[in-house]
């Protein structure tokens, strides 16, 4: 789980913050902090689908699954367990 967390966090920091991670916590809301917009969420989905070989369904496109590092890790955990 912690390896997955590091992987997701590294992707977010590298892709959206140009490597500067100051202030990013696992609970930081991407949308509220203005870090990631709606197109950015599409990027996150593409990354998750490719990297973790999962399919994100329409009804899973909710902030509870995707709006922070912590939420993504929790969501991935559920998806992996179901796979």
Partner 1 sequence: MTPAQPFSYDTLVIDAEKEVGKICARIRDGLKNQLKRRGLVIGLSGGIDSSVTAALAVKAIGPDRVFGLEMPERHSAKETTSLSRSVIDHLGIESQRIDISPILEAIGFYRMYDDAVRLAIPGYGAGWKSKIVISSIFENQGFSLLSVVAQSPDGETVTERLPLKPYLEIVAATNFKQRTRKMLEYYHADRLNFAVAGTPNRLEYDQGFFVKLGDGAADLKPIAHLYKTQVYQLAEYLGIPEEVRKRPPTTDTYSLAQGQDEFYFSLPYREMDLCLYGKNHGVDPSIVAQAIGLKPEQIEKVNGDIDTKRATTRYLHLKPLLMEEVPEIVI
Residue 42 beta carbon to partner 1: minimum distance, rounded to whole angstroms: 4
Residue 19 beta carbon to partner 1: minimum distance, rounded to whole angstroms: 20
Residue 56 beta carbon to partner 1: minimum distance, rounded to whole angstroms: 9
Range 37-75 burial, b when 16+ CB lie within 10 A, else e = eeeebeebbebbeeebebebeeeeeeeebbbbbebbbbb
SS3 (DSSP) at 58: helix
Positions in the binding site for partner 1 (CB under 8 A) = 31, 34, 37-39, 41-43, 45-46, 49, 58-59, 61-66
Minimum CB distance to partner 1 smaller for 13 or for 47: 47
Minimum CB distance to partner 1 smaller for 1 or for 53: 53
CA 33 to chain centre: 14
CA distance 44 to 2: 19
Minimum CB distance to partner 1 smaller for 24 or for 30: 30
């Amino acid at each position: 789980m912690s390896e997955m967390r590091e992987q997701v966090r590294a992707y977010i920091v590298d892709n959206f913050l140009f490597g500067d991670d100051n202030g990013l916590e696992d609970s930081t809301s991407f949308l509220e902090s203005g870090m990631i917009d709606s197109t950015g969420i599409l990027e996150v989905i593409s990354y998750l689908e490719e990297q973790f070989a999962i399919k994100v369904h329409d009804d899973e496109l909710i902030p509870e699954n995707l709006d922070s590092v912590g939420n993504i890790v929790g969501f991935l955990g559920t998806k992996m367990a179901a796979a």
